Amino acid sequence: MIDSEKIASDFPILKRKINNNNLIYFDNAATSQKPIQVIESITNFYTSTNANIHRGVHTLSMEATNLYDRAKERVAEFINSTDSESIIFTRGTTESINLVAETWGRANLDENSEIVITELEHHSNIVPWQELIKETNSKLKYIPINNDGTLDLSNLDQIINSNTKLVSITHVSNGIGTINNIKNIIKQAKDVGAITLIDAAQSAPHMPIDVNDLECDFLAFSGHKLLAPTGIGVLYGNKKLLEEMPAYQKGGDMILEVTYQKSSWADVPFKFEAGTPNIAGAIGLKSAIEYLMNLSMAEIRNHEIEITEYAYEQMMNINGIEILGPENIDERAGLISFNIPGVHPHDLGTFLDSKGIAIRTGHHCAMPLIKKLGSHSSARASFYIYNTKKEIDKFITEINNSMKYFNHV
């Protein structure tokens, strides 16, 4: 069982007042808040261990290197990968996806190739492929969605076919919260020999991930959505593929031997980590993952099911409300995207902010999706380990107040 009130006491920012109200932070899909343990791990690193890694023989450098390497081991454990050499640190999900597009993509696609994504994707899993297909003359195909925001898999056999070289799909939609049955899609992709990439930006923070079981080739997520600092993220890759892939950025730390004429690359994963990495970020990520694993990812998912169902039921009682995405909680992550009659999302966002409640409003970096579902924008409340039913009660009350405020009733 998750004790969210106790957890909340680990998060200094949650003590802050916003416009004279206790902060209620429901914008976790954008980024999560950070517990004191993570903040201290970064401060401690800079106050007592700071040095560059993988280059010095002095004590500080060895200690820093050790922490950095242990961060990778923790990440591997977190997604149940047996090999920490499959873990590449990036700036975040966006860079992880771009890395695959620019290295594996450029080397392996041609005019007969097709890339398959879904209509649910975040811009960061659309735009890199749109650019790549221009360069390689390949084709981009979409798995469509049903009206309730679940994937329409009825034509999957045609969409994923012998021309498919890559299937890149989100595990959880950031726009409307749909949880995709990625295991089935990965299996179909493997049957035709395609490579698979999972965008786990919205799932890794909230539910157990097992790359061994999924058998995906790549998996990407961001630290900042799971209690870690910004600027650190992960690309997990199938080791054999990583070894065959060309290098990404070039420079220090990623080389084996450099002469004035030519250079050879270091082994995976260092081949993909040119330059001094975000060492403090990696250490913060390690601490964040330890915090989450200590709570248990399965328990975190259970907590989110509980409060999301609670919020969903009460929201359905609001006259005229439109909730985007699936109704079944097994298909929905801890995120509710909605529209209120007579109150534009931006006005609702400003109103709730005046009550200390932070939600996201707009298109959530999924413009084509929100448009397909018939609007330009929506309001989105997304929950995490420190959110409580009491906060949801206040949220519902204030939505009702906003309708009175803006409609003069």
Partner 1 sequence: MSNYNKLGFVYKKEILDRSIKPGFDKLISNADKLITGLNPFCGDEVKYHINLKENILTNIYLEVEGCAIHKASSSFLSDVIINEKVLEVQSMCEEFISYFNKNNDENKQFKNDKLNIANPLLDIKSNQIRIKCVLLSWNTMHNNLFSKNQ
Ligand X SMILES: Cc1ncc(COP(=O)(O)O)c(C=O)c1O
Residue 122 makes contact with ligand X by CB under 6 A: yes
Q: Is 365 a catalytic residue?
A: yes
Q: Which residues pair with 258 in a beta bridge?
A: 263
Cβ partners under 8 Å of residue 195, min gap 6 = 104, 108, 165, 166, 167, 189, 217, 218, 241
Distance of CA 318 to the CA centre of its chain: 30
Residue 362 makes contact with partner 1 by CB under 8 A: yes
Q: Which does residue 222 bind out of ligand X, partner 1, none, counting CB within 5 to 8 angstroms by kind?
A: ligand X
- Least distance in angstroms from the C-beta of 63 to ligand X: 28
- Strand 114-118, strand 164-170: pairing: parallel
Residue 168 makes contact with ligand X by CB under 6 A: no
Q: Which does residue 328 bind out of ligand X, partner 1, none, counting CB within 5 to 8 angstroms by kind?
A: none
- Least distance in angstroms from the C-beta of 381 to ligand X: 15
**Peptide bond just before 269 cis, omega within 30 deg:** yes
Closer to ligand X by CB, 166 or 201: give it: 201
- Least distance in angstroms from the C-beta of 391 to partner 1: 17
DSSP annotation of 171 reads S
Start-to-end C-alpha separation, the chain:
41
The answer to whether the CB of 393 falls within 8 A of the CB of 407 is no
Closer to partner 1 by CB, 83 or 353: give it: 353
SS3 content of the chain, % helix, strand, coil (to 5): 45, 20, 35
Structure tokens at 293: 């694993």
Size, binding site for ligand X by CB under 6 A = 13
Q: Please list every residue from 7 through 66 that binds partner 1, using CB under 8 A.
A: 19-21
Q: Please list every residue from 130 through 149 that binds partner 1, using CB under 8 A.
A: none
Extended beta strands in 206-307, E state:
218-222, 233-237, 255-258, 263-265
User: Rounded to 5 degrees, what angle do the CA atoms 30, 33, 35 make?
Assistant: 155
- Least distance in angstroms from the C-beta of 199 to ligand X: 5
Among 363, 381, 382, 385, binds partner 1 (CB under 8 A): 363
Residue 94 makes contact with ligand X by CB under 6 A: yes
Residue 378 makes contact with ligand X by CB under 6 A: no
What would the 3-class secondary structure string for 243-270 be? Answer: HHCCCCCCCCCCEEEECCCCEEECCCCH
Residue 229 makes contact with ligand X by CB under 6 A: no
Among 33, 124, 164, 339, binds ligand X (CB under 6 A): 124
Q: Please list every residue from 47 through 76 that binds ligand X, using CB under 6 A.
A: none
Applying CB under 8 A, the residues found at the interface with partner 1 are 19-21, 344-347, 350-351, 354-355, 361-363, 367, 375-377, 405-408
As annotated, the active-site residues are: 365
